Amino acid sequence: MLKIIVSLYKYKPTVASTIRVMAYIKNFLNMGHKVVLVTTSDEEIDLKDDQLSLVLYNEYKRGTSSIAKILNDYRLVVATKKVHKRGDIIYTYQVPLFGFLYPKRWNVFYEETEVPMYGDNTGFKHRLSSRFRLYEVNRSKGLIVISKALKEYYTCIGVAKEKVLISNMFVDASRFDGIEKQDVSRYIAYCGGISNQKDGVDVLIKAFAKVVQQIKELNLYVVGRFVLPEEEVHDKQLVESLGIKDKVVFTGGIPSAEMPQMLKNADCLVLARPESKQAKYGFPTKLGEYLLTGNPVVVTAVGDIPLYLKNKQDAYLPEPGDVDGIASSIIEALTSENAQKVGEAGCKVAMQSFNSTTESKKVIDFFQLNSF
């Protein structure tokens, strides 16, 4: 049995990083291991398990966001060090700025699910970030990443291949237990932090404007909060200019417990991610939730996605940025006799390739293999 100290910058129950970490914790506990969660939160954290302990560090909230991030990284590392005992495993989501404060002999493991977003591949910030991560990862016992592309990124900057584990994107399938489709008005849906740059929501809106010309009773639900205020202004003006204001619903944020039903009721789920550095190296958690509904999914063919999903077999994979192609895929997902089979096949892929229990077991094996 292991004792695992899970170090999380901030607990946010509806954010992908927290959802991923908490799924790890749930499975670690089910496997009989002890877990200590070190984090901070703006709300009460209700964790009920005799083998799970909670340690909250005192969050720094003043100053600029950059200063707060630096100081909170420091406080997180200090709080983690205080509860560490010889032989413990330390798992930290994202490489902390003060990771060098951990002695090299400790069993420290990091996880990164996105490539550092600092300029281009030749810029000073990128080079500095790469060198910092290389130093920290090489001092640690190992690095967990979410995609093949991200593993290649870290091995290219000098991390040994055997020191990097790919733990696939996963979601908790039990969230969809007992969720049945309700008889509601027809809609397609997107959910997440609403972003044009990351998720191509503006491209989705343009594609939907073409779809609704053929399927007039259809609505588009955009579920979540905007990441940038200027994108909110842009997208709402775009909806007006396309004459579809009465067909597009910006729901705002909804409780995490209500999300499975919202997704299940949709006729089709769409993610129009553009080509980007983030899309190339990351893997969208929302895609797992989309697939688990058994509804047909339209997702652009970026990053590692085509390694798991095949066009018109278990999802519809138009090219990124192709408004006409995305619109055609949505129409096919809504009208094809084969669409239901595609949705069911996508659900099977999610259960097999994005299974949180399987991925958590891989991580435990990685800890044991690389610790001493």
Neighbours of 52 (CB within 10 A): 17
- Give the bridge partners for 111, in sequence order: 93, 144
What is the residue-averaged pLDDT of the chain?
A: 91
pLDDT tens track for 350-368? 999 998 999 999 999 999 9
122's CB contacts (< 8 A; 6+ apart) are none
What CA–CA distance (Å, rounded) separates 353 from 198? 24
pLDDT tens track for 198-241? 999 999 999 999 999 999 999 999 999 999 999 999 999 999 99
- pTM assigned to the model: 0.86
Contact 4, 36 (CB under 8 A): yes
- Name the nearest CA neighbour of 31 among 51, 58, 55: 51
Ranking 28-37, 169-178, 267-276, 340-349 by mean pLDDT, the lowest is 169-178
Q: Domain 175-353: what homologous superfamily? A: Glycogen Phosphorylase B; (3.40.50.2000)
pLDDT tens track for 83-122? 999 999 999 998 888 999 999 999 999 999 987 654 445 5
Q: Determine the CATH number of domain 3-170+355-370.
A: 3.40.50.2000
pLDDT score, position 124: 72
Please tell me what DSSP assigns to residue 247.
T
**HSE-up (13 A, CA, CB side) for residue 65:** 0
Q: What is the DSSP string of 23-65?
A: HHHHHHHHTT-EEEEEE--SS------TTEEEEE-----SS-H
pLDDT score, position 15: 81
Six-digit token string for 128: 């500095």
101's CB contacts (< 8 A; 6+ apart) are 77, 78, 81
SS3 call for 129: helix
Question: Helix 285-292 to helix 16-30 angle, to the nearest 10 degrees?
Answer: 70
Domain residue ranges of the chain, discontinuous segments joined by +: 3-170+355-370, 175-353
